[in-house]
A and B are shown apart, each in its own frame.
Chain A
Amino acid sequence: MHGWRKMSDMECAHEVGVRDAALALENVTAGYPGHEVLRGMTMQVRQGEFVVLIGPNGCGKSTLLKTASGLLQPSSGSVRLSGRDVAGLKPRERARLLGVVPQKVESPMAYTVAEIVMNGRTGASMPWQGLKDEDYVIMERAMIYTNVLSLADRYFTELSGGEQQRVILAMVLAQEPEMIMLDESISHLDINHRYEVLRILRRMNRDHGLTVVLVSHDLTLSSEIADRMILMHEGRVQASGLAAEVLRADILSRVYDCELLVQHDALTGTVNVSGVLDGTGPDGNASRSVHVIAGGGTGIELYRRLGVYGFRVTTGVLNRMDSDAEAARALGIEAVLDLPFSAISPEAAEDAAALACQADVVVLAPVPFGSGNLVNMEILRRALRCGKEVWIADGVAERDYTEGKAAAAAAAELVSDGARLWNSSHELLLELRSMEV
């Protein structure tokens, strides 16, 4: 019988090098013109492994799938499928090594389920020959595995989302790939259909050695099914390993940039990850106030999150019509405003310094510096002198456009006088919330 390899072939699949890995990326940089998404990504998926790929939106999961399948050429690094460079593979060979289930498949024409599944055999058949009996047998087997054979004559578009997903899975399995990658394709299904697809995948994995890479946003569900989890962040692998090793509150909170709770279920061994609903309201922070120095849209995120946590927020100096000024107005934040598109006037700076000295904490957003807003550093200096805690967004030098890097020099001086640096707004909020009143 032809078909997927049996488990016996896979028994020694554990200790394998890069050459034998089902998928191996080495230092891959890829993305779109002017925007790199994968930045020096290195990872491997062993044959027969069930890997769940997680990570926040925009971390490069979909780009990884496109790069692995040869749809996107990496600008540097190597992508190998079963030890062979993906760019050098014939399309037919590539389809046997890797099948991809995209997020959504839509057909503008009315095809029946059997016709959709037939597409899985396209790559295997030469243009001058039609489908052979063998192809129909393979199609049918794939449809039996995914339990869609009874739908064969129905129109694809008339099916429910869960049925459609199984049909697409049947289509990809009809390629008889050694590895299958699913791009968040089960996220929109209800819990019943989600588990149904997962059961099919796990069975193909266990019984036939199908390597599975599942991109998922459901961390809890992923932990139940994965042999290994890979956490991606900013185009690289952040953590990789067993669910318990990857799903740790400290790692996840940093990567997802929000507060997360991780609970281990001793009975089932699953890991439960959840966000925090309580505690985001005004939890006694109302008495404390934060003055934010921003501009050009750098403050919006801070205004919003500080507001969510119940801090009283003031801001300034902002130019009228600046996006931060608009946001402050919309959020009802007290702000010191000045004329649009002009340097900050001494009067406005004086008002802002007064506000800053009334606040408990003064935060400098990652605002770029020019001669027009260099006076902000003076406001910070005065706040520090009033005994206020001052937080400066790190990396002032990179956004300093003043002559002689005056802003960077001022920032360094402030830090030496006791100001502190912050990188992610999540960490900053943790610090501010743990602050003594």
Chain B
Amino acid sequence: MIRGQRKKDVEPTVLLGVTSVSRGRVALFLVLVPLLLSGSLLMGPSGIGLPAIETPVGAAILNLRLSRMVMGLLVGSALSVSGVVFQAILRNPLAEPYVLGVSGGAGLGAAVAILFGAVAAIPLSLPVSAFFAAVVTLGIVYWMASRGSGGAPSVYSLILSGVIVSAICSSVIMFLVSTASAEGLHNVIWWMLGNLQPVALEQRLLAGVLIGLGFMVTWMLAMRFNALTLGREMAHYQGMNADLVIFAGLLSATLMAATAVSIGGMIGFVGLIVPHVTRAMFGADHRWLVPLSAVAGGVFLVLCDAFARTIFAPVEMPVGVITALVGGPFFLLILQRKMKHAWVA
């Protein structure tokens, strides 16, 4: 038999194991992660370098830094994965975890809890009220958006309802703040800027479980997010329940964002920019984008927090200020060179 003919019977294998990401880049990234994380452990207001672990004070400091690192990983990964989901479902580069009113709702819940004295009286009232207010706000936004379209909401009505509800929430917050005492005002503003002071262990564990749950759902849906970026109709044609995927995606993304906000306050920038940079570096395939941006978001926030507590020590900067101030120029540089690998111009 002629060779050329035999070749036709061979199963094609060119695409087998097709990988959209550069393996070298992923490897480099994964080597950098532990280095950066241990670097962050060396930074703190008590001085740069490893604290003396043998003394009780040193051990306590290291313990505190570790706790903050866990906080940063949790909050940072939750926000950036949530941002990935919102950008995929809403097909919009401006989407971020707070776009559907999570920030407005959580902020309102927190402001009410702080200003009406619940925080001082009832333990955990701040994170709980922030969390539930955020989830309720998403419910309202989703309900408002679906009413107009009769059934599943369109992307545009979701975005618009989100913006409107957020605006209403921030107006109410401003009203509350304007009538509050100086101390209450300071507390609300400080909370809204976000910080990674370690919360109680149980609370951290619960947050870890919720964020882990959201992450698993998101990762499982990763391929479907790829299909959804071609639009709801095309996703439907490809054999998936597009409305269900959109709903599950929005729900898990909001869950992650609300959990992050409830333990870390409203830290901005991470959920918007980290997904973009990860996409620019590793491509837009969500099967890789979801886990990689989780790691990237976590590490980025941990580093920012290390800077926030070190630069003006002993005064601590709100980490939300550092994220944009330090991360902004750095990420701008990356995006400038790599944007065409992320979004279509």
Contacts and interface: CB of A to CB of B under 8 A. Distances in A.
Interface of A: 33, 66, 69-71, 91-96, 98-100, 102, 105-112, 114-116, 118-120, 122-125, 127-128, 130-131, 133, 136-137, 139-141, 143-144, 149, 152, 155, 157, 171-172, 175
Most buried by B among A70, A140, A149: A140
A143 B237 contact: no
Given A114-B18, A115-B226, A136-B15, A108 B92 contact: yes
B240 A108 contact: no
B223 A122 contact: yes
Given A107-B344, A110-B284, A115-B226, A128 B220 contact: yes
Given A109-B88, A125-B223, 13 more contacts: A69-B237, A109-B229, A109-B342, A109-B344, A110-B341, A115-B285, A118-B18, A119-B223, A122-B227, A127-B224, A131-B223, A136-B18, A152-B15
B15 A172 contact: no
B237 A107 contact: no
Closest CB pairs A-B (n = 7): A123-B239, A95-B239, A127-B220, A109-B284, A100-B237, A140-B12, A140-B15
B230 A139 contact: no
A248 B288 CA distance: 56
Interface in B321-345: 340-344
B30 to A, nearest CB: 19
Contacts of A149: 14-15
Nearest to A96: B239
A122 B285 CA distance: 13
Contact of B221 (A100, A109, A127): A127
A102 B237 contact: yes
Interface of B: 11-18, 20, 88, 91-93, 150, 220-221, 223-224, 226-227, 229-231, 233-241, 279, 283-285, 287, 340-344
15 contacts: A69-B237, A71-B236, A91-B240, A93-B239, A95-B238, A96-B239, A98-B237, A109-B279, A111-B285, A122-B239, A127-B220, A127-B223, A130-B223, A137-B15, A140-B15
Contacts of B234: 102, 105, 119
A4 to B, nearest CB: 15
Contacts of A137: 11-13, 15-16
A106 B231 contact: yes
A406 B16 CA distance: 78
Given A115-B284, A122-B226, A136-B15, A110 B340 contact: yes
A157 B344 contact: yes
Contacts of A139: 15, 18
A110 B239 contact: no
A130 B287 contact: yes
A6 B241 CA distance: 30
Nearest to B280: A110
B244 to A, nearest CB: 9
A144 B13 CA distance: 12
Contacts of A171: 238
Contact of A119 (B14, B18, B92, B226): B226
A93 B241 CA distance: 12
Contacts of B91: 108
A105 B150 CA distance: 24
Most buried by A among B92, B236, B285, B340: B236
A74 to B, nearest CB: 15
B12 A144 contact: yes
Contacts of A95: 237-240
Contact of A94 (B226, B239, B283, B340): B239
A137 B221 CA distance: 22
Contacts of B236: 69-71, 91
B138 to A, nearest CB: 22
A110 B335 CA distance: 14
Nearest to A137: B11
B227 A71 contact: no
Contact of B238 (A106, A108, A119, A133): A119
